[in-house]
Amino acid sequence: MTSPEISSNSRPWRAGALLALLVTGLDQTSKWWIVTSVMVAERHIEVTSFFNIVMVWNRGITFGLFGDSPATTRWVLTGVAVIIVGILAVWMWQVSQRWVAYSLGAIIGGAVGNIIDRIYYGAVADFLDFHLFQWHWPAFNLADTAIVLGVAYLVLDAFIVVKE
């Protein structure tokens, strides 16, 4: 499998930037709807036998790590995320492969969505809750999904995709 190259005249970063805006918009819209309508009275909504909607405020990072840290951690995590977004944006500006730009755009859009939450709420709003038998995945949101999918493609591109 080869990673698709594009001509030097096109601008893959634009596609990545558009995806970043779309991801941020969908993430923030979904969180706004959950926080202001669905979970006004926080509860557990069983949608299927393996999926619930819940309201979890993640003050830390992945899986709630550093969630019990001092309030200043919010700003440290926000600052680190902003720096990472800047680095990824520079990388996206320089790539020549559209799918790499899409991946970076998904990661950037997800990170920006979670940055907005940290600034506005002081924590990241997580509400998607999947479980199967005794296995229970921590709650997450659309931003987290975009980040994971973007990283997954970059890993595949780095290790599996044959370079010309």
Query: Is 157 an annotated catalytic residue?
Result: no
Q: Which residues contact 84 (CB under 8 A, 6 or more apart)?
A: 111
* Contact assessment for residue 149 and residue 19, using Cβ atoms and an 8 Å cutoff: no
Say which range, 34-43, 87-96, 121-130, has the weakest mean pLDDT: 34-43
Catalytic residue of the set 27, 117, 129, 144:
144
Q: CA nearest 12: which of 95, 105, 133? A: 95
State whether residue 52 is helix, strand or coil.
strand
Query: Rounded to two decimals, what is the model's pTM?
Result: 0.85
Percent of the chain scoring above 90 in pLDDT? 69
* Contact assessment for residue 110 and residue 73, using Cβ atoms and an 8 Å cutoff: no
DSSP 34: I
Q: What is the pLDDT of residues 52-104, one digit of tens each?
A: 999 999 886 665 555 556 667 778 889 999 999 999 999 999 999 999 999 99
Query: Is 126 an annotated catalytic residue?
Result: yes
Catalytic residue of the set 117, 126, 129, 157:
126
Q: Look up residue 132 and give its amino acid.
A: L
